[in-house]
């Protein structure tokens, strides 16, 4: 699913507020979030966008992104499980060198994506976690299924993490 335009605009605003240059985009799909972040970072900025499939990117987003070489040069698409890409960045000594992360891939791995993003972000970096309310299910039926349990666990991890401050925002009805 595409992220809502207001979420992408909200993220772009944050990228510019904090002067972000390096972005982790966890869950490419069509490439719309990667494109939004690439539009917001400066010309020497970088967006690493991660997915296990590129069918939707190739069918929809790639042609649009490739029309703007000055934007597409900022995006690196990684085709493999996001945990592998994040681990590889950590192994390469990139911890503490990213400014912004958008978590929007498979829900079951949300707690892992949060933990690894925290490792890769610099102090003062910002993480957006999409679908944190999960249509209200994290409150109404937090044990309902594996995805809901994982998102609720990620929310708990964040709210109990002394290394970060947080807020939950309902961007859609």
Ligand X SMILES: C[S@@+](CC[C@H](N)C(=O)[O-])C[C@H]1O[C@@H](n2cnc3c(N)ncnc32)[C@H](O)[C@@H]1O
Q: Which is nearer to ligand X, 35 or 158 (CB)?
A: 35
* Size of site (CB under 6 A) for ligand X: 20
CB 35 within 8 A of CB 65: yes
Helix (H, G, I), strand (E, B) or coil at 24: strand
For every residue of 101-151, DSSP letters joined together read EEE-S-GGGHHHHHHHHHHHEEEEEEEEETTSSGGGHHHH-TTSSHHHHHH
Work out whether 39 is an interface residue with ligand X (CB under 6 A): no
Of 12, 15, 24, 32, the one binding ligand X by CB under 6 A = 32
Of 22, 33, 98, 99, the one binding ligand X by CB under 6 A = 33
- Hey, what are 6's tokens? 């207001």
Please tell me what DSSP assigns to residue 61: I
Of 22, 37, 51, 127, the one binding ligand X by CB under 6 A = 51
Beta strand pairing status for 46-51 and 121-129?
unpaired
Of 48, 50, 126, 132, the one binding ligand X by CB under 6 A = 50
Query: Which positions from 71 to 110 touch ligand X by CB under 6 A, shown as an x/- string?
Result: ----------xx---------------------xxx--x-
Contact stretch for ligand X (CB under 6 A) within 46-54, 66-74, 92-100, 148-156: 46-54
> What's the residue count for the chain?
173
Q: Which is nearer to ligand X, 5 or 123 (CB)?
A: 5
Contacts (Cβ under 8 Å, ≥6 apart) of 42: 21
- Nearest Cα neighbor of 115 from 86, 138, 145 is 86
Least separation in angstroms between CB 47 and ligand X: 11
Binding site residues, ligand X, CB under 6 A: 1-3, 27-30, 32-33, 50-53, 56, 81-82, 104-106, 109
């Amino acid at each position: 699913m595409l992220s809502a335009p207001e979420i992408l605009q909200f993220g772009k605003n944050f990228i510019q507020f904090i002067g972000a240059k390096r972005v982790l985009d966890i869950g490419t799909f069509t490439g719309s979030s990667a494109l939004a972040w690439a539009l917001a970072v400066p010309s020497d900025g970088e967006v690493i966008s991660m997915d296990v499939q590129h069918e939707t990117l190739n069918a929809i987003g790639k042609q649009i992104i490739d029309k703007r070489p000055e934007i597409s040069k900022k995006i690196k698409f990684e085709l493999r499980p996001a945990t592998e890409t994040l681990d590889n960045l950590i192994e390469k000594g990139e911890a503490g060198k990213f400014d912004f992360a958008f978590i929007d891939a498979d829900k079951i791995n949300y707690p892992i994506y949060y933990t690894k993003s925290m490792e890769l972000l610099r102090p003062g970096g910002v993480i957006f976690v999409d679908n944190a309310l999960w249509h209200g299910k994290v409150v109404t039926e937090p044990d309902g299924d594996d995805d809901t349990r994982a998102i609720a666990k990620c929310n708990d991890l964040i709210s109990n993490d002394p290394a970060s401050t947080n807020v939950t925002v309902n961007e859609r009805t």
